């Protein structure tokens, strides 16, 4: 089975701190994604990556950056955390582009609270 | 731009009954993929069922089936013989065939009542 692992289930940070959310997948997937999940808004795409060192902005990239130095690892960085970034963050991976098999596999999520 | 709407924020169903979750979407594309994902409480989101728009036959996966109405841009999920383990958030999602990104709806919280 595909496994997508997010490093923390719960995280509490202070306003202004630099925050790293880590995601690792074990199935050699090309694509990786970071979403933010808020009640009533569903999942909104922050950034995605279709290859090592490649990244694309999603719908809400402001205040975030990402890093993909290795194929299996995709990190989300909050440069200076703010209270409006308190949310659930979901990482996902998928195997291919432009194909029927492009199913997304999700991690368990990181619930981040910024105080 | 594509949008996905789920008009039912919360629903409940008695165990063993049938429930239908609604989803509508807006697109000018002729071919695309539609998905239903399930997120159980405190557990990972998983794919329930998927449909390719050019296929007229509705997809079925065991107790889960869809009613795909392309002209109406509607993609509802029917769960038959509801089980307690079906309690979850359900997200409808859309993706163009030329990969862009997956657009998720706001979700429907389903509770199965014993």
pLDDT tens digits along A52-108: 988 999 999 999 999 999 999 999 999 999 999 999 999 999 887 555 566 889 999
CB contact under 8 A, B43 and A108: yes
Long-range contacts of A51-57 (CB under 8 A, 24+ apart): none
Looking at the complex, does the CB of residue B114 fall below 8 Å from at least one CB of chain A? no
Q: Which residue has the tokens 């990969």?
A: B99
Residue pLDDT tens, chain B, 114 long: 779 999 999 999 999 999 999 999 999 988 889 999 999 998 899 999 999 898 889 999 999 999 999 999 999 999 999 999 999 999 999 988 766 688 999 999 999 999
Q: What pLDDT, on a 0 to 100 scale, did the predictor assign at position B56? A: 84
Specify burial of residue A28 (Cβ count, 10 A radius: 0-12, 13-18, 19+): exposed
CB contact under 8 A, B106 and A58: no
Query: Considering only alpha carbons, which residue of chain B is nearest residue A38?
Result: B106
Contact B11, B109 (CB under 8 A): yes
Q: What pLDDT, on a 0 to 100 scale, did the predictor assign at position B42? A: 83
């Amino acid at each position: 089975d595909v496994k997508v692992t997010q490093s923390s289930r719960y995280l509490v940070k202070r306003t202004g701190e630099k925050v790293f959310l880590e995601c690792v997948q074990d199935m050699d997937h090309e694509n990786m994604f970071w979403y933010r999940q808020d009640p009533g808004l569903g999942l909104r795409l922050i950034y995605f990556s279709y290859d090592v060192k490649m990244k694309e902005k999603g719908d809400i990239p402001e205040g975030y950056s990402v890093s993909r130095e290795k194929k299996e690892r995709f990190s989300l960085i909050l440069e200076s955390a703010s209270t409006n970034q308190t949310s659930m963050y979901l990482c996902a991976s998928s195997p291919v582009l432009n194909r029927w098999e492009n199913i997304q596999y999700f991690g368990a999520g990181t619930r981040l609270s910024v105080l | 731009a594509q949008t996905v709407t789920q008009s039912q924020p919360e629903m409940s169903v008695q165990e063993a009954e049938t429930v239908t979750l609604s989803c509508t979407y807006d697109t000018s594309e002729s071919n695309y993929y539609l998905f239903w994902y399930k997120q159980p409480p405190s557990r990972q989101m998983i794919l329930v069922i998927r449909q390719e728009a050019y296929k007229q036959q509705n997809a079925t996966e065991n107790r889960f089936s869809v009613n795909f109405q392309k002209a109406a841009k509607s993609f509802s999920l029917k769960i038959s013989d509801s089980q307690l383990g079906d309690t979850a958030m359900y997200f409808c999602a859309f993706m163009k065939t030329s990969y862009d990104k997956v657009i998720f709806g706001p979700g429907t919280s389903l509770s199965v009542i014993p």
